[in-house]
Amino acid sequence: MDEPLEVEIEFRSQDGFCVSESLPVTHLGGNHYRAEGSAIFGEELYWHDELEIECTNEGRGRFVRVLKRSGLRVESFVISKKITDSERLRDLLDAVVESGGNWEIIYGGVLLTHVPAEVEMDVDRLLSQVIADVNSGAR
């Protein structure tokens, strides 16, 4: 399988509005790719969703459709820099990865977690505990 590559993907709405963003993807064959990050401005497209991209030129393409969802439960949270920089958050993020999932921090304060659907992990509750611990001075 190919290494992930950065592709500038154009997302076009039915009313003609267009936005593009750079997204790491892995080529799976033909116009079939797997997202290695989440789209922020375009479609609801998350880590390990499979998508169809119509290549327009080198490093650019037009989003066609999601072919297959990752099957992961995606949650998003807005967190402060103090929380982002904390060891306690790193512990939680390590647990997400150990569960078979992944996480992303976008713009320094938007946390996305991707947890396998079959894993019983209440990220919201765990993150609330991290925030309480950090704000009380715990490591």
Task: Write the class of the CATH domain 72-135.
Answer: alpha beta
Q: How many CB atoms lie within 10 A of CB 62?
A: 16
What are the tens digits of pLDDT across the range 21-39?
999 999 999 999 999 999 9
| Cα separation, 34 vs 39, whole angstroms | 12
Please give the pLDDT value at position 139.
58
Q: Mark the ranges of the chain whose per-residue pLDDT is less than 70.
A: 1, 138-139
For the chain, the domains span: 5-68, 72-135
Please give the pLDDT value at position 88.
95
